[in-house]
Amino acid sequence: MSTLLRAGAIMAVGTMASRVSGFVRTIVLAAAIGVGALSDAYTTAYIIPFILFDLLLNGILSSVVVPMVVRAQKRDPDGGRAYEQRLLTLVTLILITVSVLGVLAAGPLIDLYGQAWTSLERDVATTLARFILPQIAFFGVGALAGAFLNTRERFGAPVWAPVLNNVVVIGVAVTYLLVSEGGTDIAAVTPGDLRLLGIGTTAGIVLQAVALVISLHRVGFRFRPRFDFHNARLGEMGRTAVWTFAYVVIVQAGFMVVANVGNAAGAAARKSAVGHEAGFSIYNYSYQLFQFPYALIAVSVITALLPRMSALAADGRLDSVREEFSSGLRLVCAAIVPAGMLLLVLGAAITVPLYHRGGTSLNDAIYMGNVLQVFGLALVPFSIFQMLLRIFYALGDTRTPALIAVANVAVLGGLGLIAYEVLPPGMVVMGIALAFALSYVCGTGCAWFLLSRRLGGLDGWRFTSVLAKQHVAAVPAVLIAFIALWIADATVGLNLVSSILVLVVGGGLGGLAYLGTAHRMRIPEVSSIVGMVAARLRPGA
């Protein structure tokens, strides 16, 4: 556990810096372009390269590439260097081609996610997409470099590099605020405004990729293009990756439903004059906030666990795989449980001080917080599900996650469409967030059942007992947060100052109450965290 804590702590610090700078980025962007039609167009154009990259490589990285690179490092006479060079050469060629094709097909790609848009909204989104889609090639090179660093147990650079990207985009958004002629009005933006947003966004990803390549060079990797792809074990990779690709396609089909429903809801809300924006940008900003505790805590542990579990699985040590998973999951939930419960209460108190400025009104920020509260229900099942997937990948099984994803997407897409049909336009995005939570409850149950059968159990009784204790320990924190929020709402209402006070009292004192209660209840994972922090703060440590 101590090794896992140290590795997780290194990544947590970098992830914290990345996420904090990411929040500053979204705050400045929201102030610059608002959360209305222009923001929906930008957000949709921005996520398309991520989607294409996810389809082509990102899911395969964690499920296929990392385990295969680990095996090559263990078995190949050269420690897997030639294999890594072949992979990097192949990925670079493929993603450059996809980037070019993506730019040429920007219009049809935008149509997939904005079917309810006007021609103006479509044209603006398409123009932005043409500037942003070249990111795909740099995503791939940077992600593969990060994966190679992870297999060498160098976790710092992959979590710190996004800070550079965020700094660039923050500068772009500030520049837009100062020089833009159109501001938040999609009908008034100029071609120069769109070039600034699009090219500036791509420049951030370029810098991030360069930083990762330099970091890989510093640990001894020397890239030499290799075109002997017949030695790249593509057949083995293809047999494994086909199901990962199916998984990603299924997940992205669900996301396409979410994006279309969100964009349509936003257009309907603007026509209905509901008093706040309620479109895809609201969903996206809330989702990013929801991801913060997951990325800070769970991703750090998952990244440290995957190479280790892959090596243990390659040696046939399934008991050790199970123990690594159980230990990591209990550690993750020790922080995820109170974070999720506090999100249920403090959603609006978080979003108002972050986003209520510039083109984002107080009502917009409060509604974003309401969506974040619903996302809080998803934090624990989402985190558990992501960790369960890594066991499948460590075992070399990508087929089962793809089949589980069918159930996930059926729940998410079906409930999302129902939300659009039955809820008022101003509440549809909250309905989509609830559908997201329920889909991961379903997926987690399926994944746990199947893995438990395969591994002869997942230490379920022990984990369930610890999870129940963690929820009980979080009750005082929730009560403190709720009382602080109720007092602020009943007296002055939520504004910048009152929201910050609620976060300090409700979040700060609530978090301390959880740590104290969990420590007294002898929850071992919380005690380990408290002990590690106390040791670092002790004089002379």
State residue 181's pLDDT score: 81
State residue 208's pLDDT score: 93
pLDDT at 540 over 50: no
Q: How far is CA 48 from CA 66, 277, 428, in A?
A: 24, 22, 22
Where residue 537 falls among pLDDT bands split at 50, 70, 90? Answer: very low
Phi, psi of 465 (to 5 degrees): -65, -45
pLDDT at 538 over 60: no
Exposure string of 250-275, with b = 16+ CB inside 10 Å and e = fewer, is: bbbebbbbbbbbbbbbbbbbbeeebe
Helix runs in 153-296, H state only: 156-179, 191-218, 234-272, 280-293
Domain boundaries, the chain: 14-232, 242-541
Instruction: Fill in the amino acid letter for 142.
Output: G
The 10s digit of each residue's pLDDT in 81-118 is 777 788 788 878 888 898 999 999 999 999 999 888 88
- Do residues 193 and 181 make contact, with C-beta atoms less than 8 angstroms apart? yes
- Do residues 27 and 311 make contact, with C-beta atoms less than 8 angstroms apart? no
The 10s digit of each residue's pLDDT in 413-434 is 999 999 999 999 999 999 999 9
- Do residues 280 and 439 make contact, with C-beta atoms less than 8 angstroms apart? no
Pick 339 or 219 by higher pLDDT. Answer: 339
Classify residue 94 as exposed, middle or buried by CB count within 10 Å of its CB (0-12, 13-18, 19+). middle
The 10s digit of each residue's pLDDT in 403-413 is 898 899 999 99
Q: Among all chains, which residue has been given the structure tokens 């997942």?
A: 458
Lowest mean pLDDT among 45-59, 190-204, 269-283, 499-513: 45-59
Lowest mean pLDDT among 56-70, 120-134, 494-508: 56-70
pLDDT at 276 over 50: yes
Rounded CA-CA distance 522/12 in Å is: 24
Where residue 342 falls among pLDDT bands split at 50, 70, 90? Answer: very high
Radius of gyration of the chain (CA): 23
State residue 313's pLDDT score: 77
The mean pLDDT value for 214-234 works out to: 73
Q: What is the pTM of this model?
A: 0.80
State residue 536's pLDDT score: 46
Per the prediction, the chain carries an average pLDDT of 84
pLDDT at 260 over 60: yes
State residue 541's pLDDT score: 45
Count of helices and strands (H, E) across the chain: 22, 0
Strongest mean pLDDT among 70-74, 203-207, 269-273? 203-207
pLDDT at 539 over 60: no
Q: Assign 507 to helix, strand or coil.
A: helix
pLDDT at 510 over 50: yes
DSSP percent split of the chain into helix, strand, coil, nearest 5: 85, 0, 15
State residue 390's pLDDT score: 83
The 10s digit of each residue's pLDDT in 14-25 is 667 887 888 899
Where residue 11 falls among pLDDT bands split at 50, 70, 90? Answer: low
Classify residue 222 as exposed, middle or buried by CB count within 10 Å of its CB (0-12, 13-18, 19+). exposed
Lowest mean pLDDT among 87-96, 117-126, 309-318: 309-318
- Do residues 510 and 480 make contact, with C-beta atoms less than 8 angstroms apart? yes
